[in-house]
Structure 1
């Protein structure tokens, strides 16, 4: 078994190695919009990757990165698609996913020889970090970050609030606590309603679509009576 962890970003650290731009295959041939018309024919900055397995010798990935990939083309590089390309190679799968992973270098598993005995040690007690990763007290009254606002919008797809007019700005005025409560409530309601539907005999593959609580509360009885009166008048006049 191999656990492969790779990062999407490099963290903003300076990289002295130039970004590979030579003969990099575009995944699908698409070109971005103006004014840049980005063709996805170059790679980005380097990112950390961690390979974890009892059968890996020390510095296995480090050695691979130093000497570079052995193909499949002279210009192949290790990149995110190398994970998919490696799985395809060792599993004997059919077609590649895109033109990019057909070009990406693979991690040669043939260099892996048996279990690494140095890594097989009994664990009696987990180590305690010498310091806390949190350097400031929790402030739940702070505004949501852009990513946290996106989580609120994602949760609104569950509770039906995505149909409201103010959907794009749902999380912009929320605090961290309000955003956390909103997401928890949305997920809890979605699960609760789903379980209710299953108990009622609804097919389990049915897509559950909840109605916004705010939308329901805004439909006052007075408004409903006016709508019924209006519809009744139209029928009588016709």
Structure 2
């Protein structure tokens, strides 16, 4: 079976491609073509690296992790220690912050979102809300053998490994983007 790695970037583009694939699948199925079903898996508050990052071992074309990735313990202190990304994830708890503000801190390393998104604030933000266990949780991904269902799916189907959340926020705004290409301005799970 062939593994295709898709490079997806924008929610509207992806939504259009998914719609096109579903239409092709329905026409193809009626005409006996190769595409029978299109399945979209949307995960809950976990990054690609956490769940599928180590799948790079199975397919080097996947833009996964190597173990050389790290975050500083303090983004404003250049001499601060580092926490490297490992493969020791066992549970999904504790859950790192996923509010708009917490994600901004993870992406930018502070509340200032005017500079480049360095993706260096995960350890610092985790420490601020949960201490040591949280810090290790955000800097560990699952070994492929620990998530056998995902391992088998990755080995047999396409993987969109360049997907970025359309809203750096909680679940519902991003689900809205997946299904409609917009969150209608929502940045939290709470109706406003």
TM-score, structure 2 as length reference: 0.23
Rg larger in structure = 1
- Higher relative contact order structure (alpha carbons within 8 Å, sequence separation ≥ 6): 2
TM-score, structure 1 as length reference: 0.20
